[in-house]
Amino acid sequence: MAKNSLFYKIYNAGPLLLLYYLCISEVDTNLEKVFEIFTLNFQIILIYFWVLKKPELMANGHIFLAGLINDVVMGFPLGISSLSYLIIIFVGTYVRNKSVNTTIASDWFTFFMAMIFSNLLFFSLLNNFSDLEFSYSKIGYNMFFTLFMFPIFWLLFNIYQISFIGNRDA
Amino acid sequence: MSVSRDDFSIAFRSALLQRGGAQKFSVLSLIFLALIIFFLDVYGAKFTKPVRGFLNDVVYRITFLASTPTRFFPQVSKDLTKYFNVKAENEKLKAEIEKYKLLELNVEFLSDENKNLQKILETEYFNKNLSNVVLAKVLVDKNSPFLKSIIINKGTRTGILKGMPVTHNNYLVGRIVETNYLSSRVLLLNDLNSRIPVTLDQGAQAILSGGGTNNPTLEYLPEDYKVIEEINVFASGKDGIFSPGAPIGMTNLDGEVDLFVDPNQLSFVTVNLSIQNLGKL
């Protein structure tokens, strides 16, 4: 596909538009109605994958802004989701700088590290600087299902990248 | 050894400071910016409250617009189903009207008796002052695993203040926890942060605690009290926020409370402007 074509630009903007849409709309990945404990943080999967594979599609400033929007919609203190997303970017960029060739397994493991650091910061700040209470079991389920679903979304995003964007890996 | 340490520091520094191409800002600068915004918001500098209020109003409106497609399609399918079931529904409604006609006389007598008894108890009938009730539309109902709240389209402009009780068909659904000029956030009864004093059918007092699940639980019940099924739960009004006697739900087999109003299905709610909690929210 020609790099200047409109469709190519739309496909390239797809991941970022999806991130913005997930943050600003009522659409959520909290599927408690389907299965009582099934919740996942889709935003961090999306950010991590694209930062690792095609960082030029996920500008840091946009991710920061999406985090702020997410905070407003969810009622969290401003900046906390941005910080959590920036930690994901940081780990993703570090892994990208250090590795030459990645596999789904290596990405899965490094995603686990990124998620741990990001959630640790998110919940530590929330616990210490806000009145909000949260259930640790819910955090555990959320992290487990986010990690569990990562390879599925990895494959889907990979198919999207190969089909619509090209230039499979860094 | 020193080479690997160099590699580490180069990759680390690069990840933090890298710019160029699509990246106009480095991760480090954005982390600092996010921290500044976070602490300004948490410690509530004078100018941050109106800024946050304005931001909330704008973002909630955009969220409402952005969520229109997700609300439109389920509504269309619901309307179509209703259309095809209209005949059966008509017969059902006729039968119900007959039933209610029979009940009407009974209700009239009971409501008179109830008002008289409430006068004796010196409590306020929660529907007494309808002019102090504001109808609001639910703008955003984003389900989160950590927070159970909704955004409504009325704010301080209509006189809504923090702590005011929110109801749906006279059933209690939550209370206002955040106000902006044109919108407010309602903390639902099933949120982990929600605690309200309640009275049970048999007169026992308890605290209704949200657990982040659909059904809140009863805490601080009298010793040796056994929760059985189908006991009505009402707000006791002891906190000065909720009207005494406002119905909330009914106990189930697990000892939890099935709320009369499904918190995930709210479209319109009412806010009682005459009551405001003066304590810490």
Measured CA to CA, the distance from residue B267 to residue A80 in angstroms comes to: 29
Residue that is written with structure tokens 């389907």 in the block: A34
Which of B14, B40, B145 lies at the smallest CB-CB distance from A97? B14
Domain count, chain B: 1
**For residue A39, what is the DSSP state?**
B
- Give the residue among B280, B276, B274 at the shortest CA–CA distance from B131: B274
Note down the domain range covering B161: 131-272
Report the gap between the CA of A64 and the closest CA in chain B (Å). Answer: 7
Which of A26, A73, A76 lies at the smallest CB-CB distance from B70? A26
Q: Is B163 part of any domain?
A: yes
Provide, as residue numbers in chain B, all residues whose Cβ is less than 8 Å from the Cβ of A90: 15-16, 27, 31
Which of A25, A26, A77 lies at the smallest CB-CB distance from B38? A77
DSSP, collapsed to helix, strand or coil, labels residue B146 as coil
Instruction: Mark B12-26 as b/e (b = at least 16 C-beta within 10 Å).
Output: eeebbebeeeebebb
Q: Is B263 part of any domain?
A: yes
Query: What backbone torsions phi and psi does residue A63 show, to the nearest 5 degrees?
Result: -65, -40
Nearest CA in chain A to B36: A79
Fill in the amino acid letter for B124. Answer: E
Measured CA to CA, the distance from residue B55 to residue B47 in angstroms comes to: 13
pLDDT of residue B123: 53
Contact A26 B212 (CB under 8 A): no
CATH number for the domain harbouring residue B145: 2.40.10.340
User: What band does A3 get if pLDDT is binned at 50, 70 and 90?
Assistant: low
Q: Is B280 part of any domain?
A: no
Cα distances from A57 to residues A44, A52, A63, A70, A106, in angstroms, run 15, 10, 11, 20, 22
DSSP assignment string, B200-213? ETTS-EEEEE--SS
pLDDT in tens, chain B (281 residues): 455 667 778 888 887 777 777 778 888 999 999 999 999 888 876 777 888 888 888 888 888 888 777 777 767 777 777 777 888 888 888 888 888 877 776 777 787 777 777 766 655 544 455 568 888 888 887 777 777 888 998 888 888 888 888 988 888 888 898 888 888 999 998 888 888 888 887 778 888 888 877 888 888 888 877 778 778 888 887 777 777 778 888 888 777 888 888 888 888 898 888 765 544 44
Q: Is B261 part of any domain?
A: yes
Q: Is B174 part of any domain?
A: yes
Flag whether residue B73 sits within 8 Å of chain A, measured between CB atoms.
no
What is the edge-to-edge ordering of all strands in the sheet holding B217-219?
B217-219, B205-209, B195-200, B232-235, B247-251, B257-259
Measured CA to CA, the distance from residue A30 to residue A118 in angstroms comes to: 19
Measured CA to CA, the distance from residue B3 to residue B31 in angstroms comes to: 29
Domain A7-165 has CATH 3.40.630: no
Contact A67 B34 (CB under 8 A): yes
Flag whether residue B24 sits within 8 Å of chain A, measured between CB atoms.
yes
Report the gap between the CA of B46 and the closest CA in chain A (Å). Answer: 15
**Mean pLDDT, range A45-63, rounded to an integer:** 90
Nearest CA in chain A to B22: A56
Q: In this structure, what token pair is assigned to residue A1?
A: 């596909």
